[in-house]
Amino acid sequence: MSVNGSAMSPVSPLIEAPRGLAGVVVTDTGIGDVRGREGFYHYRQYSAVELAGTRSFEDVWHLLVLGDLPDAERGAAFAARTASLRRLPDEVRAVLPAIAAAGSASGPLAGMRTALSLLGAAKGFSPVYDIDSARRREDTLVAVAAVPTLLAALYRLGCGLEPVEPREDLSYAANYLYMVTGSEPDAERARAIEQYLISTIDHGFNASTFTGRVIASTGADVAACLVGAVGALSGPLHGGAPSRALDTLDAIGSPDRIDDWIRERVLAGERIMGFGHAVYRTEDPRSRMLREIAQRFGGPRVDFAVQVERQVEALLAELKPGRELHTNVEFYAGVVMELCGLPREMFTPTFAAARVVGWSANILEQAEDPKIIRPVARYVGPPAPVAVPSAF
């Protein structure tokens, strides 16, 4: 068969997929997996929750991007190397005030999209299609190391405060808290945030990760891939729930209001933020870990959150029988971040400061595959072709 004398390859048959591509396997990965029915997820061959309990953020970053867990000597070298990349180029620093002012209503995460793009240009990032794996990996290290600096600076500028320069003697998590708050955090709070960051580095083919991989499949540079991932994360159905879950605690206010408040909203068909997950059919293991971290701090806020969790789960079981609706990562994430001194407008940006490592690992993996991701859509509009009516 030919068209205009040239060979025409056969067209593959269309394959119907469920809405949202739910349950559709689109590629192979060696980065990690989420086993929703078991309530378990892992980074490479290790339990993600166990890693959060026993390792540093830098060690897990090394695992995802370089492929293995380092020993103490290699881990220290990697931490020192990435810490040296935290400072921003002068070209980027100069425009951050304007970016912060322009995005004052939308916050640091929106500003980071612009700043990340500029960072890639200032650092000379090349399309991943044109460079080797070592250069791609180096570009991801530069970008990841800069993300906390960008987020903290944009937040402080938006509040009318001077940005705080990064310190190389602090860990990734401690330095992030230091740059946001202006004060060096105590060890307990730095470790709590570090455990949260580790637990959210990667989580399967979520919307932002898949977006980053689609862009990587085009051969675009690392900054472009990350900007797209950040855009997907900014949607409230993906990464925007930690502050909303905390808003739920505030709206309920006191234990005697829990039942009435929840019943009213469930019966009205509203979603209870912080409960339910697209993958897990058991308790979210990240929620369990973060509850334990919150309980280490203790206090009335934590006690109330635990009480709300128990009563809401009981009410959801009554009002939505047959549905497994438990707290997800956002519910206790908000509690922990608040306890550690992070403002609510920085909850989702903090999530991004962790997930950027997972995005990077996925971008590097996708860049090894020369096939562009190019699905099709089923046309359901008016029949074609129809003659175009004259404008005269």
- Could you list the mean pLDDT of each consecutive 10-residue stretch along the chain, which spans 392 residues? 40 76 88 87 95 98 98 98 98 97 87 96 98 98 98 97 98 98 97 97 94 98 98 81 79 90 84 71 83 95 90 81 74 92 93 97 97 91 92 83
Which residue type sits at 330? E
Catalytic position from the list 62, 203, 277, 326: 277
Tell me: do 84 and 178 sit in the same domain.
yes
User: Cα separation of 269 and 40, whole Å?
Assistant: 29
Catalytic: 58?
A: no
Tell me: do 277 and 324 sit in the same domain.
yes
Q: Pseudo-torsion of CA 245, 145, 143, 163, nearest 10°?
A: 70
Query: What range does the domain containing 160 cover?
Result: 41-234+347-367
Would you state the pLDDT for residue 23?
A: 80
Tell me: do 62 and 168 sit in the same domain.
yes
Which of 296, 320, 339 corresponds to the end of one domain?
339
Judge whether 373 lies within some domain. no
Would you state the pLDDT for residue 9?
A: 44
What are residue 4's phi and psi, to 5 degrees?
55, 35
Judge whether 8 lies within some domain. no
Judge whether 86 lies within some domain. yes
User: Cα separation of 333 and 327, whole Å?
Assistant: 11
Judge whether 14 lies within some domain. no
Tell me: do 297 and 333 sit in the same domain.
yes
Tell me: do 183 and 135 sit in the same domain.
yes
User: Cα separation of 152 and 88, whole Å?
Assistant: 12
pTM value > 0.85:
yes
Tell me: do 117 and 220 sit in the same domain.
yes
Tell me: do 75 and 205 sit in the same domain.
yes
Judge whether 9 lies within some domain. no
Judge whether 219 lies within some domain. yes
- CATH code, domain carrying 351: 1.10.580.10
Cα angle: 344, vertex 345, 347; to 5 degrees: 65
- CATH code, domain carrying 286: 1.10.230.10
Would you state the pLDDT for residue 21?
A: 84
Judge whether 29 lies within some domain. no
User: Cα separation of 34 and 198, whole Å?
Assistant: 15
- Number of folded domains that form the chain: 2
Tell me: do 310 and 332 sit in the same domain.
yes
Tell me: do 255 and 224 sit in the same domain.
no
Judge whether 7 lies within some domain. no
Bridge partners, residue 42, by sequence: 33, 47
Tell me: do 326 and 352 sit in the same domain.
no
Tell me: do 166 and 271 sit in the same domain.
no
Catalytic: 277?
A: yes
What are residue 42's phi and psi, to 5 degrees?
-145, 155
What residue has token string 């470790």?
A: 191
User: Cα separation of 354 and 351, whole Å?
Assistant: 5
Helices 108-122 and 133-158, interaxial angle, to 10°?
A: 140
In our burial notation (b when 16+ CB lie closer than 10 A, e otherwise), range 78-98 reads: bbeebbebbebeeebbeebee
Tell me: do 167 and 315 sit in the same domain.
no
Catalytic position from the list 58, 309, 330, 338: 330
